[in-house]
Amino acid sequence: MKKYTVLLIAFLIFTLSCNEHNSKALTKNSIPPVAEKKPVNLEKHGDIRVDNYFWMNERDHPEVIDYLERENDYYDKMTAHTKNFQKELFTEMKGRIKEDDASVPFKSNGYWYYNRYELGKDYPVLCRKKDSLSSQEIVVFDNNVMAKGHPYFSQAGYTVSEDNKIAAFGIDTVSRRQYTIQFKNLETGQVYPEKIENTTGRAVWANDNKTVYYSRKDAETLRSNQIFKHVLGTDVKNDELVFQEDDETFYSYVYKTKSKKYIVIGSSSTLTSEFRCTLADEGSSEFTVFQERSRGLEYSIAHFENTFYILTNKDGATNFKLMQTSEESTQKENWEEVIPHRDKVLLEDIDIFKDFLVVSERENGLNKIRITSWDKQVDYYLPFDNETYTAYPTTNVDFDTTTLRYAYNALNTPSSVIDFDMVTKEKSVMKEQEVLGGTFDKNNYVMERVWATARDGVKVPVSMVYHKDTKKDGNAPLLQYAYGSYGSTIDPSFSSIRLSLLDRGFIYAIAHIRGGEYLGRKWYEDGKLLKKKNTFTDFIDVSKHLIKEDYTSEEHLYAFGGSAGGLLMGAVVNMAPELYKGVIASVPFVDVVTTMLDDTIPLTTGEYDEWGNPNDKEYYEYMKSYSPYDNAFAKAYPTIFVNTGYHDSQVQYWEPAKWVAKMRETNTGDNTILFHCNMDAGHGGASGRFESLKEVAQEYAFLLDLEDIQE
């Protein structure tokens, strides 16, 4: 009997083993969906581009929906063998996060405000306490209750009237970033019936406690182009249009100064700014222009006492300078210099206090916080002791205080919120991010900043972190990340989620490529318009440097980028596919020429100063030379995972869908190209604190599977 039992067990083990093998084999041999070709000729400047998949641009068409669903089904089959691992990764990442967490309270107008999370819930509870933190908690909004029944939920623009009685708030349940503004009586809990549709989500209160200003979007392009005034209790249909931005390359917005004296309407494009002001006490419809727009003149304004402070690039101040002027004389000829322009220091922001001016600077890529007194007796920098940190002022709502609140973290150091006394220089750590699980020790992780030489001789900085046991022998898997557009700087910051890669031997590298502002404004200008290719070649040259220095090799190097960083990924896999084992492109902007020629698509007209206007032949030809979709020709691609959201308002779903179809058509290799479309999400992915971790688990499982790491 024992003999037959042993044989039976052996047979079962063999059968299960074969079934598992066959399952994986079937998965790997699954056939991807084939997108039907329906050629459309797109002509511009006498040049004809043939788009075989233009039909995917028709949102909600049954054929499009069917194709996306077939792609999702293919993705599910191809990744079926990683599903359990994805769940394990999700549980692991979630397990490091303190669920019943809360933000550090800040005081505003007699109330302490904070957000907190409850165990097992995805959304924050927004609370306040009157006068003292020992007072009874008042729940203003419970997003968990508000989100019920919605596959996607986002609340934005929460503002309270000056008498503390009414809150304005915006809700988006589609993920198109078209918010509906509503009002809640904080004394009775009543939500008023009026709803203001298609806004940016934020209402700005005048000091009369009944008038609000808000930005409305163009229904088709989603450009915020109108500022309206609404009086509480009146019909929204009667709201007064107080400003309309007719230049399609600009967007408009509205805010109240920290001094609460002015309501300010801003109009901005990539290269130009304009502001207009009215007194907040009056609920006025008449706004006075601060300084007329002049192409290339960028400025922002802050107000204190009887003076406006202006951060500007006036007179060739590429890295910006600080100026001031009186309330009565706001035109630029009256501006007086406070902090001069410096060639090697980027002036990023200011925070004004009664006795101090706090300046956020960036030098050699590093954040600096400078504290000066108005009487010139004090001038010093906060000390930071490494090259891979991020530090910045946070919520500072009061003028009459000596306390500066700022945040600090590094690639191996969890985030802290710190209250710093600018007189005594004493600091109080108000909160340190907890990393649960009992195994995290920052001393187990090594940080480095290295410099790679680009092909034109420019030095490109790279911030890296890895486990101290990871060997630099060329065999370590390395995930290289970058963005590289809009002057957006990717600072080296801590991530407890990223530990799931570092603890499995991955090196994580941020390439601070041109197109961001890591090394100042010129660093940005050298990675845009007709210099955009510097962004792509910088990334590739960083990859080559990391391989040369034995951090990794072509067999273990991975690349990741999203949105404009997804464009980067598309360009990189066209230009140097042989360098990468795998690539993740999230919500990638890849059909550049077609999108930039269509001014009905959200964001297009406002992007001309970033990418160029392809109605100009020079920009058309340059753009076409790097656009990933237009350059998906015969080549052996690495293994690629592309994801997107069906409701994305910034990069329409059809761009990655078409790109994947064309890459599969032209791929000369046998590596897999995967595509997943979240049918309930937009540009930011799934809503909810933990739901988004499932998408990260998908990406990490993709990488780890390619490294044959199963647990």
Instruction: Write out the two tokens for 603.
Output: 């964001």
- Residue-wise over 623-634: b if at least 16 C-beta within 10 A, else e? bbebbbbbbbee
Among 563, 586, 627, 687, the one annotated catalytic: 563
Q: Which residues pair with 199 in a beta bridge?
A: 179, 216
C-alpha 120, offset from chain centre: 26
β 639-645/673-678 pair status: parallel
For 260-291, how does the pLDDT look when each residue is reduced to its tens digit (9 = 90+)? 999 999 999 989 999 999 999 988 989 999 99
Supply the DSSP string of 549-603, one letter for each residue.
Answer: TTS--TTTEEEEEETHHHHHHHHHHHH-GGG-SEEEEES----HHHHHT-TTSTT
Q: Rounded mean pLDDT of 513-518?
A: 97
Nearest-angstrom CA–CA distance, 6 and 17:
16
547, containing H or E segment: helix 533-548
- Would you place residue 120 in the very low, low, confident or very high pLDDT band (cuts 50, 70, 90)? confident
pLDDT > 70? residue 159: yes
Residue range 67-94+438-706 in CATH 3.40.1350.10: no
Q: Count of alpha carbons within 13 Å of 520, Cβ hemisphere only? A: 15
Q: Tokens 């293994």 sit at which residue?
A: 639
Q: Rounded mean pLDDT of 566-595?
A: 97
Please tell me the predicted confidence (pLDDT) of residue 432: 95
Give the DSSP letter of residue 308: E
Percent share of the chain, pLDDT over 70: 94
- Find, among 209, 149, 215, the residue nearest to 185 by Cα: 209
Answer for the pair 639, 583: CB distance below 8 angstroms, yes or no.
Answer: yes
Instruction: Write out the two tokens for 194.
Output: 């009026």
pLDDT > 80? residue 20: no
Among 175, 648, 649, 687, the one annotated catalytic: 648
Please tell me the predicted confidence (pLDDT) of residue 686: 58
Q: What pTM value is reported for the model?
A: 0.90
Q: Rounded mean pLDDT of 199-217?
A: 95
Nearest-angstrom CA–CA distance, 132 and 565:
45
Q: Rounded mean pLDDT of 676-701?
A: 81
pLDDT > 90? residue 707: yes
Nearest-angstrom CA–CA distance, 145 and 421:
39
For the chain, which residues make up each domain, given as ranges?
A: 67-94+438-706, 354-434
Whether 563 is catalytic is yes
Please tell me the predicted confidence (pLDDT) of residue 680: 78
pLDDT > 70? residue 181: yes
Q: What are phi and psi of 538, to 5 degrees?
A: -60, -45
Q: Which residues pair with 479 in a beta bridge?
A: 508, 558
Please tell me the predicted confidence (pLDDT) of residue 7: 35
Alpha-carbon distances, residue 668 vs 6, 26, 570 (angstroms): 48, 22, 16
Please tell me the predicted confidence (pLDDT) of residue 4: 35
Give the DSSP letter of residue 367: E
Lowest model confidence (mean pLDDT) among 17-21, 148-152, 638-642: 17-21
Instruction: Write out the two tokens for 648.
Output: 């994305």
β 138-142/459-467 pair status: unpaired
pLDDT > 90? residue 229: yes
Nearest-angstrom CA–CA distance, 356 and 399:
9
For 468-487, how does the pLDDT look when each residue is reduced to its tens digit (9 = 90+)? 999 999 999 999 999 999 99
Whether 683 is catalytic is yes
Please tell me the predicted confidence (pLDDT) of residue 3: 36
Long-range contacts, stretch 359-367, CB < 8 angstroms, 24+ apart: 359/322, 360/392, 360/393, 362/489, 362/517, 362/518, 362/520, 364/519, 365/449, 365/461, 365/512, 365/518, 365/519, 367/391, 367/392, 367/491
Answer for the pair 190, 698: CB distance below 8 angstroms, yes or no.
Answer: no
CA torsion sign, 452 to 456 to 457 to 459?
negative
- Would you place residue 319 in the very low, low, confident or very high pLDDT band (cuts 50, 70, 90)? very high
pLDDT > 80? residue 595: yes
Average pLDDT over the chain reads: 92
For 38-90, how does the pLDDT look when each residue is reduced to its tens digit (9 = 90+)? 999 999 999 999 999 999 999 999 999 999 999 999 999 999 999 999 999 99
For 659-688, how does the pLDDT look when each residue is reduced to its tens digit (9 = 90+)? 999 999 999 999 999 999 998 765 555 557
Q: Rounded mean pLDDT of 299-314?
A: 97
- Would you place residue 6 in the very low, low, confident or very high pLDDT band (cuts 50, 70, 90)? very low
